[in-house]
Amino acid sequence: MPPGTRPPPPPDTAPPPLAAQKFYAAARQALREGDNFRAVQQYEKALRLAPEQPDILRGLGQAWTRSGNRVSAAEHFRRAFTADPTDLDSLFVLGRFALESRDPERAVALLAAAAELAQAPDLPGGDFRGADFRGADPTAARLIRFYLATALDQAGYAAAAAAQYGLFLHPPDDDGASAASRYSRELAVVASQHGQTLMRLGDLYHRLDDPQSAREAYETADRVGVLNREALDRRRLYTLLRLGQTRDAGRLVVAAVGGDAGGPAALPLIRYAVGHGVDPETLTAALRAADADGEGSSTLSLALADVLPRHEAADLLADHLAARPTDDAVHRRLIELLLAGEPAPGDYRRAIAATADAMLGSPGLAEVYAEVLIHTAADLDVLLAAYPAESASSDAARRATETTLRGKTLLALDRADEAFAAFGEAVATDPDQTLARIDRASILLDRGDHDGVGAALGDGLADSIHPRVVELRVEALLATDRPGEALMLLDDVLRRSPPGGPLMLKKAELLLEQGRVADAERTLLDALNARPMDESIYAALLAIYDQNPDMIRNYQRLVRRMIDTIPTARITQLVKAQTLVAIRSFDQARQTLETIEPTDDDRVLIQRLWMEVHVGTNRGDLVDELLQQHLDETRAAGQTPDDELLARAESHYRRTQDFDRWAQVTVLRLPNLPAGFQRDLTLGQAYFQLERYAESAEALSAALDAGFRDDERTRLVLANLLVSALFEAHADRPADAESRVVELADRHAEAIGADLYMRMGLVYDERGDRDASWRVMEAGLERFPGHAPMNNSLGYGLANAGLRLADAERMIARAVAAEPDVAAYLDSMGWVFYKQGRFEEALRWLERGRVAEGGTHPVIIDHHGDALFRLGREAEAVRVWNEGRQVLSAPDYQPSGDPEEQGLLGRIEAKIRAVAEGEPPAIAGLGEGVSLPAAEPLPVAEPLDVEPAVPAGPSGAAGL
């Protein structure tokens, strides 16, 4: 219904049956109770009694929506609106579905129609239980404007979108909300995000080249308040710079850095402002003035570092760190500044000195500072060379700290022996070098010197609750097969540690290794009670539940806790995405996944989820793109592609019949699986599809040797592929291929020997070498005289060529005796009699073939028609040929691959036309040396009361 068109009233309908109303009421109750499955069942029952009843269809749409099946939901909402064009609810939902499915053009059309309908005067409609009327709903109209604006924005209609957002934000005076409207609650939620909507409006004004209006929208949003202050500040800064108001831009930056919402997140504003025209000296002065109280917050120091020249910034950060050595963010920025670009040896030396100072000032962060230095250095060899050969400092602690840093660098270079010596030197210089003692003990543990770990730690650390120390002691106990003592140690340390410490994760890990799943779960839940925001604990619990499907209730409780406690956390969003994929709510899953940036730990998991989304939404192009990305990444990292992801892609390609890609993925998957018949058969099929025939033959030969599963379909597939692959692999030397097939047939005579011979004969026939085809099939029948398909194949070939008809009859008789109900064999028997001129016998066999399963094959029909004509039954022959023509002309007809089907339609139509014109039709001839008795001359066609063949109509039928 286009905008501006008033909908017609719904047609008058009789009230639904009472039973339908009861099912409808039961469905609504189930929906209120959250039992979506039962609601669908009850609505379906009601719909069967009252087809196309709008309220029932709309209820089904709601039930399917809550079940996560948007496809079924949309279909029922569409039917509901078709049945009742005043159904605003269904039309609105369809518009939102289109918006969520990234179809903004359709969303615009649907939502514009919904907005028109929401403003329409009273129209009959409503629930079938009463005779109420539907009229204008200002609340619905305003809410629809919001979604319509969003759709217009996505579709690229900026001006129209801005106008709709304006109407939503500032409704007409007579557009008051209806307190009774069913849309009031949702409108209240959307309206509470007033600031976010103003930000969208400002963005639209920029697209319309109206930065002044954008500034007004953003400033209003600032007064109203927004959830994401950082995003608003970025927009305001961009707008001020676009308007050339650099002074106001500078003031905005200072306020953002020093305000309540300031912090590291405000730092990009500094870089952007300076890079786009704000005077760095003026900005520096303003920032220094903001720090007039002398507190020297890390945010302001970092902000100043972004606008000062590099060496001045480094001096500033070094001074800050000297006064406040626990500001690890400042240390990180200082090292990044010193080692940026192509640092000189002096820069490396200064970075070493700054790190040593920070380690001395804050021993608890010593390891953090050391790791920052090593990970920031672009060239560890140059860093190593920058350490002083002999420290000039008289301070033993400083000399030991620098030596410890050198040891950490050697360790990062995989020079463990030299690192061990450096750590020993550091401890000798300063026995209080905790980090050196821990790393020295770690090297001993790696060497297998478990008893030396305690001595390396020393008495001062032996009973420490330092997490790394405890982990080393635990690993030493486990390495010497003392898990009980390791658990006792952890329990003792945990009693003396703050609740929820990281060692609880280690304890849970140890319990899991011992198979004590419930104890591990309880330990992690205790840790979670102490640290309810710690994502690592949730991750450990999820891993337990993933490995133990019987703990599904525990998993569900944990997920509810995550949603309540850390709803915006990355791990919660990841679990939400997994759940949405599992219930096939792919559009919502995609929206959730778009907010998650993969890490090294979960990159593959996220790619699996994306693969499910792309497959579920039939986006084959994105399946291809994601698969290639995964293969490129794993290849670059020297890793094996993820089998679960490959299996999903393989299934997709098989379903969409993209067999080349299916084969490529299959080849990637299967070589790493355990050897066996099914693996080798599938691999052979894939190699054959990729035209890698030698590898295909090798895999298929292995399948024969790997416990061949003898069922008819598998046997034929294997024989056909194997023989074809061998002949393709030896295309220039068919004798070599034949020799190999004979060898395999001898080795596996009982299981598949006859099938191999037969397929070899067919391959020769396909290559146009009829003599070789008959030769190998005769050899096969000498070995396997009772093989029905080969008897029939060779017998029919001889009969069709009109040669050796007695031999052909004997072979075909064997086939029929073995399998008397096969249409092809019955047809062959009829055809050999035909070639012998025994037309009455031929007709009996051909008629049996016609009524057997598979008897509708057009070649069998054509044979039947020829036999009838030979017997002088011209009208019946034409009727049968017409049946064959209809089969061949049907839109859904799929050729079987029989060479005789080629050109058969034209030959049949020529026969029908010849009879209609009184000419002899071109029917099949007789066998070699066979002639009709003089008393039975070949019938001469008489003109029949038939019309010539005409092209088949749309249904595939062509009448006489």
Per-residue pLDDT reduced to its tens digit, 389-424 = 776 667 888 888 999 999 999 999 999 999 899 988
| Alpha carbon distance 776, 3 (integer Å) | 75
Lowest-confidence segment of 270-274, 531-535, 638-642 by average pLDDT: 270-274
Confidence band (pLDDT; 50, 70, 90) for 305? confident
The two beta strands, 123-124 and 133-134, are antiparallel
Taking 90 as the threshold, does the pLDDT of residue 329 lie above it?
no
Q: pLDDT tens across 517-544, in order?
A: 999 999 899 888 888 888 889 999 999 9
| Alpha carbon distance 853, 696 (integer Å) | 34
Average pLDDT rounded to a whole number, residues 20-39: 86
Average pLDDT rounded to a whole number, residues 68-93: 86
Residues with Cβ within 8 Å of residue 184, at least 6 apart in sequence: 139, 177, 178
Lowest-confidence segment of 207-221, 278-292, 344-358, 756-770 by average pLDDT: 278-292
Confidence band (pLDDT; 50, 70, 90) for 709? low
Neighbours of 232 (CB within 10 A): 23
Give the dihedral sign, CA 113/115/118/122: negative
Confidence band (pLDDT; 50, 70, 90) for 789? very high
| Alpha carbon distance 871, 865 (integer Å) | 10
User: What percent of the chain is modeled with pLDDT above 70?
Assistant: 87
- Residue 309 is predicted with a pLDDT of 80
Average pLDDT, the chain: 83
Residues with Cβ within 8 Å of residue 859, at least 6 apart in sequence: 827, 898, 900, 901, 904
Phi and psi torsions of 123, nearest 5°: -130, 145
- Residue 11 is predicted with a pLDDT of 45
Confidence band (pLDDT; 50, 70, 90) for 83? confident
Confidence band (pLDDT; 50, 70, 90) for 1? very low
Taking 90 as the threshold, does the pLDDT of residue 263 lie above it?
no
- Residue 250 is predicted with a pLDDT of 76
Cα–Cα separations (whole angstroms), residue 777 to 760, 790, 807, 909: 8, 7, 13, 35
Phi and psi torsions of 277, nearest 5°: 110, -10
Q: pLDDT tens across 538-547, in order?
A: 999 999 998 9
Give the N- to C-terminal CA distance of the chain in Å, as an integer: 46
Taking 50 as the threshold, does the pLDDT of residue 954 lie above it?
no
Contact at 8 Å (CB) between 833 and 841?
Answer: yes
- Residue 392 is predicted with a pLDDT of 63
- Residue 15 is predicted with a pLDDT of 59
- Residue 133 is predicted with a pLDDT of 43
Contact at 8 Å (CB) between 408 and 439?
Answer: yes
Residues with Cβ within 8 Å of residue 704, at least 6 apart in sequence: 718, 722, 744, 747, 748, 751, 752
Confidence band (pLDDT; 50, 70, 90) for 625? very high
Question: Which helix (H) or strand (E) is 884 found in, with range?
Answer: helix 874-889
Tokens of 122: 């009273």
Average pLDDT rounded to a whole number, residues 824-838: 95
- Residue 395 is predicted with a pLDDT of 83
| Alpha carbon distance 916, 933 (integer Å) | 27
- Residue 959 is predicted with a pLDDT of 24
Of 298, 292, 254, 260, the closest CA to residue 273 belongs to 254
Cα–Cα separations (whole angstroms), residue 60 to 38, 71, 88, 131, 948: 11, 12, 16, 22, 55
- Residue 16 is predicted with a pLDDT of 64
- Residue 287 is predicted with a pLDDT of 66
Amino acid, res. 364 = G
Confidence band (pLDDT; 50, 70, 90) for 63? confident
Confidence band (pLDDT; 50, 70, 90) for 10? very low
Average pLDDT rounded to a whole number, residues 872-901: 89
Contact at 8 Å (CB) between 10 and 57?
Answer: no
Residue 392 DSSP SS3: coil
Give the DSSP letter string of 127-191. Answer: -TTS--EE---HHHHHHHHHHHHHHHHHHT-HHHHHHHHHHHHS--TT-PPPTT-TTHHHHHHHH
- Residue 949 is predicted with a pLDDT of 34
Half-sphere exposure at residue 866, Cβ-oriented, CA atoms within 13 angstroms: 24
Residues with Cβ within 8 Å of residue 939, at least 6 apart in sequence: 869, 870, 872, 874
255 versus 163: the higher-pLDDT residue is: 163
Lowest-confidence segment of 375-379, 570-574, 668-672, 904-908 by average pLDDT: 668-672
Q: Select the highest-mean-pLDDT range: 271-280, 877-886, 944-953.
A: 877-886
Q: pLDDT tens across 545-581, in order?
A: 989 989 988 998 998 899 888 888 889 999 999 988 9
Average pLDDT rounded to a whole number, residues 763-788: 92
| Alpha carbon distance 256, 264 (integer Å) | 10
User: What percent of the chain is modeled with pLDDT above 90?
Assistant: 31
Q: pLDDT tens across 473-529, in order?
A: 777 777 878 888 878 877 777 777 776 667 888 888 888 888 889 999 998 998 888
| Alpha carbon distance 638, 634 (integer Å) | 6
